[in-house]
Structure 1
């Protein structure tokens, strides 16, 4: 099986995260009595320590029971929801967004699809981080948009390699994607670094697609700074959702926002194109949209603080446990989001060929699911999601350590001596 999967995963565009994780789950040994612990999917709701607040739940119950929101919503979204999102995002910007800047989407994935579709034109290319989120490649392939990968620098806080961006950008480049807080790396960019990215985008006369689905999930040295802060310097398309911060990924409530106070991107033709595009694609359920104003206005800070506290705790556990596994190296403890990238040294393992092979054998032998790095663009790395119960995370990484011990060259030498 490993050979077939390796062939299929030579390029990230051939696979989705859900697809490879489903294949890993299917490969589990039915005779293995260990409970399955998945650290592969970024769905915190799989663990009981991550539950949304009563305000969030009650807001949806209230709108559903009102019987007022069973019909169609406007294709661009309910006006009160658009207004609430514009006010929510404006709190962290030096200017005020208008409700007309906001388009409600079925999760951040649809916001990504909208962004790429709107920017698609003959010979267009978009600069995307490596490692990154493979949905960008998949969406671009459907729109005949070329993806050019720029490197993130693991030994420098996974910052954007601006030299690589300058080398890749040309007259056909239309945008650069910046994911902050970072998925899959767990980085949180400083104000100074984001400003340099904005200056680089301005130099090349391209806009920034700011993927902020993990917005505000920062618990390290750097606070979360929205890319829209630099909207007066360069047009920014801000993509976000309720999914991660409010712990409701299955609700599929996202947004596509033009943070462009100078109107460089938002000319009449573009706005009309956007509206027409939304006419052909459905958004989230109307009653969930109707709950957005109350959710954004009434969620208590204590709820957010609790989530950040757990994520900081599990990030610390993850970093500490990885240090105990010689074949894994974590260049930086996660500062935000819910996952971290870890380098895999296969030379220390006697019968593991690469990250795909590692993850499949780990799943079968230890019932632990990790995401192969190739899925997000880096061979011989793995992505570990630390949004898990602390005890489950510790147990899973202890099993990874046991897997290393069984497969290490040192173990073979000791067995031969016996």
Structure 2
């Protein structure tokens, strides 16, 4: 094999003779020859001396459009939105006014006006024209300090400013934590989720390829957690345990004793706990116990925000607080700071107003919670007198999970069929339990005014009586 220039041999010899006449030096010729054949803009070929002296020509293939979404997109579908579209595909057959008890939006009717401080503080921030720019990725110092003060007042838990990051709602907070804890594509990694539970957790985890392990909440025990099952599911690849309290969709408020057992199991297995407490303190049948207040060793990531307790879901404002008593979760804290800088934090106007919003007096919260409790009583009493359905009396959050009895309602035992028929016949929209890993149930939102809830109770009773097996 020899290395030669891409130019044809006659040209090369002509060029060499010209150089020889010019410089009259064999050494000069050799040096120039070496420089010539090693110039970066001259393409060289390696060929057989006795073989062909041209490079093979690659046939041109006309490209076709082939645009595809990543597989994670299909895995991350939102079952609530898809089911909503399926049930409402055809309009109700009745002229009755539609009542929507499907989505957990307390502003739909609304249940109550937002805190007066929220409107005033945001208006002041807007008119000041001094809160329109970028802020720190994790949030302003003042806003994060307001979050720390809020949890000190209501939860009796101390947080430093650098252990808090502000997010675009709790959904963003969930995604941020999973991004920190769950390696992409690691099929051995697993996260423990409650069943029944909020579907956004499984939707977000699907994009990471993380294994989901469900632990049961026990209906006969007012939907308390099966702690022994959690213990059996934990292993060396468990990245986090998710606790939703008060519960969406069950409407339960875990007892202090149950929460202490959860912390003990997390300590035993050395597993971080994600405490979704967006409905924290929205209880009426027993006090709310913040999980972080019970831990002196286990790292607890508390998620909260303005959407539920403050009736401001559309403001998309949440936060994560890291409680790390033994300082073993430094990587998580650094990950929170790094992740915060990816999106530059939520609205600067809301951050400016946050200290005043979070200082909302307890009397305002008491009024809102009393309205939800009234709705819970209306629906519970009505369901007790309605054939084919049953429920536990809820004690927190904004929901009630209703069981369908297949013996009495054999044609509507499937929760999707039940919800679809209820929508079409009575113009009442409720989400089927399959959206929450609870087939055979439907979830009712307790966020409408009492007169609307009473109307729902009447329509639900008429619907079940019409379909009940006599």
Report the TM-score when normalising by structure 1: 0.90
Residue equivalent to 1:281: 343
Residue equivalent to 1:21: 84
Residue 227 of structure 2 corresponds to residue 153 of structure 1: no
C-alpha separation in 2, matches of 1:307 and 1:92: 17
Q: Shift of residue 209 of structure 1? A: 0.4
Residue 261 of structure 2 corresponds to residue 200 of structure 1: no
Please tell me whether the aligned partners of residues 243 and 273 of structure 2 are also in contact (alpha carbons under 8 angstroms).
yes
Please tell me whether the aligned partners of residues 321 and 397 of structure 1 are also in contact (alpha carbons under 8 angstroms).
yes
Q: Shift of residue 168 of structure 1? A: 1.0
- Alignment match of 1:253 (pick from 305, 317, 324): 317
Superposed, 1:205-354 pairs within 5 Å as 205-220=270-285, 222-265=286-329, 267=330, 269-297=331-359, 299-330=360-391, 332-354=392-414
Task: Render the CA deviation track for 1:217-260: whole Å, top value 9, x for unaligned.
Answer: 0111x201111112323110000011111111110110011011
Please tell me whether the aligned partners of residues 114 and 311 of structure 2 are also in contact (alpha carbons under 8 angstroms).
yes
Q: Which runs of 5+ in 1 are unaligned?
A: 1-11, 411-418
Higher mean Cα deviation, 83-92 or 373-382? 83-92
Please tell me whether the aligned partners of residues 251 and 284 of structure 1 are also in contact (alpha carbons under 8 angstroms).
no
**Could you say what secondary structure the match of 2:442 adopts?**
strand
Residue 201 of structure 2 corresponds to residue 141 of structure 1: no
Superposed, 1:48-59 pairs within 5 Å as 48-59=110-121
C-alpha separation in 1, matches of 2:82 and 2:208: 21
Please tell me whether the aligned partners of residues 81 and 289 of structure 1 are also in contact (alpha carbons under 8 angstroms).
yes
**Could you say what secondary structure the match of 1:87 adopts?**
helix
Please tell me whether the aligned partners of residues 322 and 333 of structure 2 are also in contact (alpha carbons under 8 angstroms).
no
Residue equivalent to 2:143: 81
C-alpha separation in 2, matches of 1:243 and 1:113: 17
Q: Shift of residue 407 of structure 1? A: 1.5
C-alpha separation in 1, matches of 2:306 and 2:365: 12
Provide the alpha-carbon RMSD of the alignment. Answer: 1.7
Residue equivalent to 2:133: 71
C-alpha separation in 1, matches of 2:138 and 2:440: 42
Residue 126 of structure 2 corresponds to residue 61 of structure 1: no
**Could you say what secondary structure the match of 1:280 adopts?**
helix
Superposed, 1:162-201 pairs within 5 Å as 162-201=227-266
CA 109–246 in structure 1, closer or farther in 2 if over 3 Å, else same: same
C-alpha separation in 1, matches of 2:103 and 2:464: 22
Q: Shift of residue 286 of structure 1? A: 0.8
Please tell me whether the aligned partners of residues 21 and 41 of structure 1 are also in contact (alpha carbons under 8 angstroms).
no
C-alpha separation in 2, matches of 1:88 and 1:249: 19
C-alpha separation in 2, matches of 1:360 and 1:259: 43
**Could you say what secondary structure the match of 1:103 adopts?**
strand
The number of residue pairs the alignment matches comes to 394
Please tell me whether the aligned partners of residues 238 and 257 of structure 1 are also in contact (alpha carbons under 8 angstroms).
yes
Task: Render the CA deviation track for 1:104-138: whole Å, top value 9, x for unaligned.
Answer: 00111111111111110332111100000011101
- Name which structure has the greater RCO, CA cutoff 8 Å, separation 6+: 1
C-alpha separation in 2, matches of 1:144 and 1:136: 13
C-alpha separation in 2, matches of 1:282 and 1:323: 50
Q: Shift of residue 398 of structure 1? A: 1.2
- Bigger radius of gyration, 1 or 2? 2
Structure 1 segments (4+ residues) deviating >4 Å: 92-95
C-alpha separation in 2, matches of 1:106 and 1:402: 42
Q: Which runs of 5+ in 2 are unaligned?
A: 1-74
**Could you say what secondary structure the match of 2:107 adopts?**
helix
- Alignment match of 1:124 (pick from 173, 181, 189): 189
